[in-house]
Amino acid sequence: MMPAAIADKVRAGQEITAREHPNVTVIYADIAGLDRLQAELDSSDSLALSTELSRQIDAAAQEFDIERVRPVRNGYLGSCGLTVPRLDNIRRTVDFALECQRIIERFNNEASLHLSLRAGIDTGTVSSGMIGEPSPVFDMWGTVVNLAHRMKNGMPDPGIYVTARVYDLSLIHISEPTRPRL
């Protein structure tokens, strides 16, 4: 799995070299409670639940032009502005995170579950490229990715956590109803 634009280049035989991308917003998210639930369900039910959650989150990502960078166990590493530069990548990423929360809330209401979203969002310059041999994987790295990951893992409660940089820039780019809360 990799962003579609990168997959097209790989299929065409083009070499994917490491490069820097300015102005990229990164979301690192996971679904809290999914590990516990998967342990309680049989394999078929666990797979069905995980598949449906992934399907709905991927559909939301497509709606907001968020690119899944690579699979993350029970979570999501995505970006906006990596392969297609966007002026509104912060707004799109925050709106995507809010939609993921709504998806999980619907799952909770429909199936009496207790899942929640924990997400970290940062913006800035990232690097990307193919890593590994003989089975290379597309990945993204840098301070922005690391900080989004640390924010997701470092917060005690579920929620959407944004860096000061995202918050400050969102005051300019995000309308009042979708402004992220710290």
What is the tens place of the pLDDT at every residue in 14-26? Answer: 777 788 999 999 9
Parallel/antiparallel/unpaired status of strands 67-72 and 137-141: unpaired
How far are the Cα atoms of 4, 73, 151, 173 from residue 81, in angstroms, in the given order?
Answer: 13, 23, 20, 15
pLDDT at 174: 46
Mean pLDDT rounded to a whole number for the chain:
88
CA distance 117 to 115: 7
pLDDT at 179: 52
Instruction: Mark 48-84 as b/e (b = at least 16 C-beta within 10 Å).
Output: ebbeebeebbeebbeebbbbbbeeeebbbbbbbbbbe
What is the tens place of the pLDDT at every residue in 76-104? Answer: 999 999 989 999 999 999 999 999 999 99
Contact 96, 78 (CB under 8 A): yes
Q: What residues pair up with 117 in beta bridges, in sequence order?
A: 31
What is the arithmetic mean of pLDDT over 41-57? 92
What is the tens place of the pLDDT at every residue in 56-82? Answer: 999 999 999 999 987 787 889 999 999
- Does the N-terminal peptide bond of residue 134 adopt cis geometry, omega within 30 degrees of 0? yes
pTM score over 0.95: no
What is the tens place of the pLDDT at every residue in 142-155? Answer: 999 999 999 999 88
Residue where the block lists tokens 């979301």: 27
